[in-house]
Amino acid sequence: MRCLSLAIVGLTFCAATAEAQDSGGADVAKQAQNPLANIISVPLQSNTDFGLGPREETGFTLNIQPIIPMSLPAGWTLINRAIVPLPKMVPTAGQGIGSTTGLGDITLMNWFSPLPRGSFTWGVGPVTVWPTATDDVLGADKFSIGPSAVLVYSNPKFIAASVINAWWSVGGDSDAPDVGIFYWQPIFTYFLPNRWYLTTAPVLLADLKAESDQRWIVPLGGGFGKMFNVGNLPMDITAQAYSYVVAPDGGPSWMFRLQLKFIFPKG
């Protein structure tokens, strides 16, 4: 985690001090803020949670999130997005000081999106969660499936989007608890001069199987980002902080997110 943070800080410094920028790369990087853009990208997103459990420990997840669009007939696009938590580090509750680290459950979202018309675009499809965790504490031991939808409004000044998922377990370890999750990620990005931007993209979760007072995780916050080029490769980097205004017992108090995104224009 420390090496990743140093690498991201170094890239931010290089991007901020660069005197020449590729305008074409800037346009592509700006488009890539749209979750339904017809652009291949690979965000590396580190999420560090603070204040977990009675000893207020720290958890960490690096989400590798490739987004690969595929062109379909009649102007439709299939947007394939994976979330691969590797590594995922969870404090080992009740076993003294320590943690468990490994691969978490992989989430796949597949959105069918029509040809954009004007400023508004949308996509719908399935979401699946696969029991790939290398340890019981890193995943649910269940295969889950449900509906997924994305709504996007964009203009030259900002992009507003909403990613809505819900999934329920339909298979997996019969001894593991059943899963029912509601997921909502509102996204707002406001573009500033010199390829900077302000952004917020909290992930709100509801455990539909939990008691009502233990159900919700609600973070509030945001941060800023910078689009830049490494040679001809468009990239961007984001730093964000969130406070958990609602969390179950033992949940985190706040979270810090760093993201580095590689962008590969199609063609």
3-state secondary structure of 140: coil
Residues ≥6 apart with Cβ < 8 Å to 3: none
Each residue of 65-88: pLDDT tens digit?
999 999 999 999 999 999 999 999
3-state secondary structure of 5: helix
Run of H or E including 15:
helix 2-17
Each residue of 24-62: pLDDT tens digit?
566 888 999 999 999 999 999 999 999 998 888 999 999
Task: State phi, psi for 18 to the nearest 5 degrees.
Answer: -70, 135
Task: State phi, psi for 23 to the nearest 5 degrees.
Answer: -65, -35
Separation CA 29–CA 23 (nearest Å): 10
- Least Cα distance to 165 among 92, 225, 85, 111 occurs for 111
Question: pTM of the predicted model, to two decimals?
Answer: 0.89
The total of other beta-carbon atoms located within 10 Å of residue 179's CB is 22
- Chain center to CA of 136: 22
Does the pLDDT value for residue 170 go beyond 70?
Answer: yes
Q: Which band of pLDDT confidence, cut at 50, 70 and 90, is reported for residue 265?
A: confident
Separation CA 23–CA 256 (nearest Å): 30
Q: Which band of pLDDT confidence, cut at 50, 70 and 90, is reported for residue 94?
A: low
- Least Cα distance to 79 among 35, 45, 137, 44 occurs for 35
Separation CA 161–CA 202 (nearest Å): 12
Class for the domain spanning 2-264 = mainly beta
Average of per-residue pLDDT across 224-239: 95
Average of per-residue pLDDT across 136-146: 96
